[in-house]
Amino acid sequence: MSWIHVQHHPSLSPSNPPPPRLAAAAATNSKYANFSQIPSWVSLKSTSSSFVKTTPPLQQGRVENLHLVSLSKQGKLKEARVFLEQMDEAGVYVTPHSYESLLETCRNLRSLAEGRYIHDRMRRRTVKNPSGFLENCVLRMYCDCGSLVDAQTMFDEMAERNLGSWVVIMSAYAEAGFFDKSFWLFSDMLVLGIEPTSMIYTGLLKCLVNPSLVEIGRQLHSRVIRSGLSSNVAINTALCNMYVKCGWFEGAKLVFDQMDEKDSVAWTGLMVGYTQAGKPEDALDLFVKMVMEGVKLDQYVFSIVLKACAGFEDLNLGRQIHSYIVKLGLETDVSVGTPLVDFYVKCVNFEYACRAFERISEPSDVSWSAMICGFSQIGKFDESIKIFKSLRNNSLVLNSFIYTSIFQACSALADFNLGAQAHADAVKRSLISHLYGDSALVSMYSKCGRLDYATQAFESIAAPDTVAWTAIISGNAHHGNASEALRLFRTMQDCGVRPNVVTFVAVLTACSHSGLVVEAKHYMDTMRSQYLVDPTIDHFNCMIGIYSRAGLLQEAYELIKSMPFDPDKTSWKCLLGGCWTHKNLELGEIGAANLLQLDPEDTAAYVLLFNLYASSGKWEEAAGVRKMMTEKNLKKELSCSWITVKGKVHRFLVGDKHHPQTEEIYSKLEEFDQTLMNNENGLLTEEDDVSYTFPERKQQLLVHSERLAMAFGLISTPTNTPIIIFKNLRACEDCHEFAKHLSDISGRRIVIRDACRFHHFLSGQCSCNDYW
DNA sequence: AGTCAAAAAT
C-alpha cells in the first residue's frame, strides 16, 4: 500500500517527477499555502493583535483553513491534527470545506483513526452543514476505510438522510459482497416510498461481477423496467456490463441492441467483456461497427481494442489501428500508448514498441513495466535492470509486475545478489505478486544455485498453484534431487493441484538427471491416460535423452522414428550425445547426419562427431569433420565461467590471464597439479578450441575456465560459504573430476552450474553421481 | 453515470 501514498503527494507526482532541484523549486511555488509562508500578522499567535480584532470573524480564519486544506492535500494528517488543535485554542473556525478535504484524504489514505477523529470533533461542535453534505462525506469515509460497522451506525443516527446517503452505504455493502445487506436496504427504501435513482441502480449493478449473481442482476433489471428507467443510458450500460461480467453475453447483447442511445462507454464495456472471455475477434467486430456507425472513439476504446489485438499477435492489424490512433492524436495518451507498447512487445517487435513508448507524454508504471518486459524478451536483461534502478532512484511508482520481471531478469543472469536485494525491496513495499512473483522467486533462487532459498520461498506460498509447484519440482530436478522432485510431484497431487505440460517436463527432467528410466517411462505412458495431459515433442525429447544417456540407444532411435512428431534438432542431439557417451558410431553417424541437415552450423554436432570418430580410431573421418568445420568457418560459442564475489562478477575464459589476481590463481591451481587426470587420448572437450594441436590442447585443459573460477573462488571467499560457479557450456569430464578432488582436499562445498544442470561437490562426491 | 492498459514454471 505504501506506494499509493506516494501518488497523493504532490511533489512526488508519479507520472512526471521533476528532478530534485526542480521539485524543490516547485514546492515553494505550490498553489497550496505553506505554514512557513503564512505572514506573522495573521498567524495563530497574533489573533489577539489589534489588527485581527478589526477583521470579520470568518475572514479571520481564511489563511489557517487554507493551510489546513494544504496539509490534507499533501496527506499530512498528523500535522493537520496538531494544527486543528492549535486552531481550536486560538478559537479559529474550521470551514466545511476544510472538513470535506480532510475526510477525502482520510478516505484516500484509508486512515480510519484520523477519520474517526475528524468525525468526533465535528460532532462536538456546530458545523455549518447545508443539506447533510458533510455527513455523507463522513459516511463515505467510513465505507472507504473499510469500517461498515461505523458506517451503519452513522447511517442509523443520521437525522437527514438523502439519496446520496443511501447510494453510499448500499454500494459499500454490495462492493464488499454483502448483497443481502444492500438489498435489505433497497427494500427499506421502497417501503419508505423513496424512488431509487439511476445512481442506486448503477451502484448495485456494478458489484454483480460473477455468474452466481446473474439472478440478482435479472431481478434488478426487471425493477428497472417497471420503474420506467429502461431508456437511461447509464443504467443500460451498467446492465450490459453486469451481464457481461456474469458471463451472460446473450443478455448483454439484448440490452445493448435495444439501446437507442449508445455512447462509446457502452461499446467499450461490451468489448471488455468479449476480450476477457477470450473472444477478441468479437471485440474487434464491435470496433469495426463502431467505426462504421461513426461513434466517437476515445482512449478507452483504443486501450481495449489494442488488448484484443495483442491476443491475435497480428502485427498488421495493430499497425492499422495504430495509424488511426495517430490520426486522432491519441498516441501521446498514456492509456493508449501503454497498451500499444504492450501490443508491439507481444508481437516481438521491440523497435516499434520503443517508438510507441517514446510518444507517450507521461509514461506510467504500467508503461515502464511493458518496456522492462520488452527488454527482457530480447534478452537485454541488463537494460531491464537499468530501468528498474532508475525508476527506484527517482522515487517513481513501482508495481508488482515490475518486480516479477526483475526476478526473471535475475534468474536469467543468475544474479543472486541483485535478486535477493530486489526480493527484500519488494517485501518492504509489499509488491510481491501472489503466485506470479512467488513463482518467479522460487525459480530465481533455484537458478542462482540456492535451492535452499528456493525451497523457503516455495514454502512461504500459502496455496501454491500448478506453476509454483512446477517451479520447485523443476528446481529440484536441475539440482539433481530426483527423489525429492518426485515426492513433491506426489504431494502436489495430494493437495489437489493438477500437473500440466510443463510439470511433466520438470518431472521427466528429474528422471533424466538421475537415470530413472523406468520411472520416466511410467510417467510418459500415464501422463495422457491418468493426468489428461497430452505429451508434446518436449516430453518425447526428454525421453529420448533419458534412453540415450542410459545407453538404451536403440530404444531412443526407435522412439524418434515412432513418435507422433517430426524429430527436431533436440531429438537428434539427445541421441548423438548418448552415442558419444556410449561410443556407438553407427547410430551416432545417423544422429549427426540428421542434426546437421536441420542445422549445418551446429558446432556441438561437429565436436561430438569428431570425438566419436577419434575414439574409434577413425582418424581420417575425424580429420574430415574438422576440415568441414574450418571450411564453414564455424566460430563456436566462446566458453566461459564466472563467479560472483562481493557483488562483482569475475568472468574467465580458457587460459585467461586478464584477471588482476592471475598469479595467485595460477599458483593455486599448481597446488593441485598432481591431481590432474590423464587425457592422453587427445579428445576434444566442448571447451577446447579445435584449431589447437594436441599438446596445446592438453596444456589448455589445465587452465579451463571453470578451474580458474574455482581457484579464484578458493582464494577470495570465506571458507564457510559454498563456491558457486556458472559456466555456459557443459562440464567437461576432467574438470568434473578436478572439482570433486578439490572439494575433498579443501573441504569446501562447490556448486557448478553447467549448461544443463547443477553439480554439488562435497567431500570428493558430486550430487550427479557422475551421471550427467 | 458508465468504460482502460501489464506478469509466473520448460
What is the per-residue burial (b if ≥16 Cβ within 10 Å, else e) of A684-721?
bbbbbebeeeeeebbebbbbbbbbbbbbbbbeebeeee
pLDDT-based confidence at residue A31 (cuts at 50, 70, 90): very low
The reply to whether A756 Cβ lies less than 7 angstroms from strand B is no
Cα gap A169→A317, rounded to integer Å: 45
Cα gap A624→A39, rounded to integer Å: 93
**What are phi and psi for residue A151, nearest 5 degrees?**
-60, -45
Max CA pair span of chain A = 113
In whole angstroms, B8 C1' to A243 CA is: 31
In whole angstroms, B4 C1' to A207 CA is: 18
Side-chain half-sphere exposure of A96, counting CA atoms within 13 A:
12
Map grid coordinates 495431459 to a residue: A533
pLDDT of residue A456: 95
pLDDT of residue A685: 53
**What are phi and psi for residue A750, nearest 5 degrees?**
-120, 130
DSSP A651: E
pLDDT-based confidence at residue A158 (cuts at 50, 70, 90): confident
Cα gap A152→A185, rounded to integer Å: 11
> Is the pLDDT reported for residue A703 higher than 60?
yes
pLDDT-based confidence at residue A388 (cuts at 50, 70, 90): very high
Residues 451-490 of A with CB under 7 A from strand B: 465-468, 470-471, 474
Q: Which of A581, A595, A589 is nearest to A549 (CA)?
A: A581
Q: What share of chain A is helix, strand, coil (3-state, %, to 5)?
A: 65, 5, 30
| CATH code of the domain occupying A536-636 | 1.25.40.10
A238 nearest nt, CA–C1': B2
> Is the pLDDT reported for residue A679 higher than 70?
no
Write down the domain spans for chain A.
31-160, 536-636, 640-766
The reply to whether A285 Cβ lies less than 7 angstroms from strand B is no
Most confident of A131-145, A416-430, A672-686, A756-770: A416-430
A404 nearest nt, CA–C1': B7
A466 nearest nt, CA–C1': B9
The reply to whether A541 Cβ lies less than 7 angstroms from strand B is no
Encode pLDDT of A211-255 as tens digits.
888 888 999 899 999 888 888 888 999 999 899 888 888 898 889
Strands (E), A632-757: 640-645, 648-653, 723-727, 750-753
> Is the pLDDT reported for residue A36 higher than 50?
no
**Strand pairing report for A648-653 and A723-727:** unpaired
In whole angstroms, B7 C1' to A433 CA is: 9
Residues 202-261 of A with CB under 7 A from strand B: 202-203, 206, 233-234, 237-238, 241
Q: Which of A471, A363, A404, A292 is nearest to A13 (CA)?
A: A363
- Average pLDDT (A390-398) is 90
Consecutive H or E run containing A765:
strand A765-766
> Is the pLDDT reported for residue A383 higher than 50?
yes
pLDDT of residue A726: 92
Domain over A31-160 is classified CATH 1.25.40.10: yes
- Average pLDDT (A441-455) is 94
CB distance A638 to A653 below 8 Å: yes
Q: Which of A542, A569, A568 is nearest to A556 (CA)?
A: A542
pLDDT of residue A564: 93
- Average pLDDT (A364-383) is 91
> Is the pLDDT reported for residue A92 higher than 70?
yes
pLDDT of residue A485: 95
The reply to whether A264 Cβ lies less than 7 angstroms from strand B is yes
Find and list the nucleotides of strand B having atoms within 7 Å of a protein beta carbon: 1-10
Most confident of A32-46, A279-293, A551-565, A683-697: A551-565
Q: Which of A165, A170, A260, A245 is nearest to A213 (CA)?
A: A245
User: Do the first three CATH levels of A31-160 and A536-636 match, i.e. the same topology?
Assistant: yes
Residues 577-596 of A with CB under 7 A from strand B: none
Residue at minimum CA to C1' distance from nucleotide B7: A401
SS3 state at A602: coil
In whole angstroms, B4 C1' to A458 CA is: 34
Give the burial class of A680: count Cβ atoms within 10 A of its Cβ; 0-12 exposed, 13-18 middle, 19 or more buried: exposed
A364 nearest nt, CA–C1': B5
Give the rounded percent of residues in chain A with a pLDDT score beyond 90.
Answer: 41
In whole angstroms, B6 C1' to A278 CA is: 17
Residue at minimum CA to C1' distance from nucleotide B4: A300
CB distance A402 to A409 below 8 Å: no
Q: How many whole angstroms from its chain centre is CA A585?
A: 47
Residues 154-193 of A with CB under 7 A from strand B: none
In whole angstroms, B5 C1' to A300 CA is: 9
The whole-chain average pLDDT of chain A stands at 84
Residue at minimum CA to C1' distance from nucleotide B2: A234
Strand-pairing partners, residue A650, are A643
Most confident of A1-15, A307-321, A437-451: A437-451
**Cell numbers representing residue A663 in the block:** 598469479
The reply to whether A263 Cβ lies less than 7 angstroms from strand B is yes
Contacts of A750 (CB under 8 A, 6+ apart): A710, A713, A722, A723, A725, A739, A742, A743, A760, A761, A762
Residue at minimum CA to C1' distance from nucleotide B1: A234
A437 nearest nt, CA–C1': B8
A299 nearest nt, CA–C1': B4
Range scoring the smallest mean pLDDT among A34-48, A135-149, A194-208: A34-48
In whole angstroms, B1 C1' to A196 CA is: 14
pLDDT of residue A37: 39
Cα gap A103→A636, rounded to integer Å: 68
Encode pLDDT of A323-349 as tens digits.
999 999 999 999 999 999 999 998 888
Q: Where are the alpha helices (DSSP H) in A258-380?
A: 264-276, 280-292, 299-312, 315-327, 334-346, 350-359, 365-377
The reply to whether A506 Cβ lies less than 7 angstroms from strand B is yes
CB distance A641 to A722 below 8 Å: no
> Is the pLDDT reported for residue A14 higher than 70?
no
pLDDT-based confidence at residue A177 (cuts at 50, 70, 90): confident
Q: Which of A212, A233, A208 is nearest to A220 (CA)?
A: A208
Residue at minimum CA to C1' distance from nucleotide B8: A436
pLDDT of residue A369: 93
CB distance A677 to A737 below 8 Å: yes
In whole angstroms, B6 C1' to A401 CA is: 7
pLDDT of residue A130: 62
**Cell numbers representing residue A452 in the block:** 535452499
Side-chain half-sphere exposure of A14, counting CA atoms within 13 A:
16
pLDDT of residue A696: 53
Q: Where are the alpha helices (DSSP H) in A582-651?
A: 585-598, 603-615, 619-631
Encode pLDDT of A454-491 as tens digits.
999 999 998 999 999 999 999 999 999 999 999 999 99
Encode pLDDT of A498-550 as tens digits.
999 999 999 999 999 888 999 999 999 999 999 999 999 999 999 999 999 99
CB distance A360 to A15 below 8 Å: no
Looking at per-residue pLDDT, the higher value among A6 and A364 belongs to A364
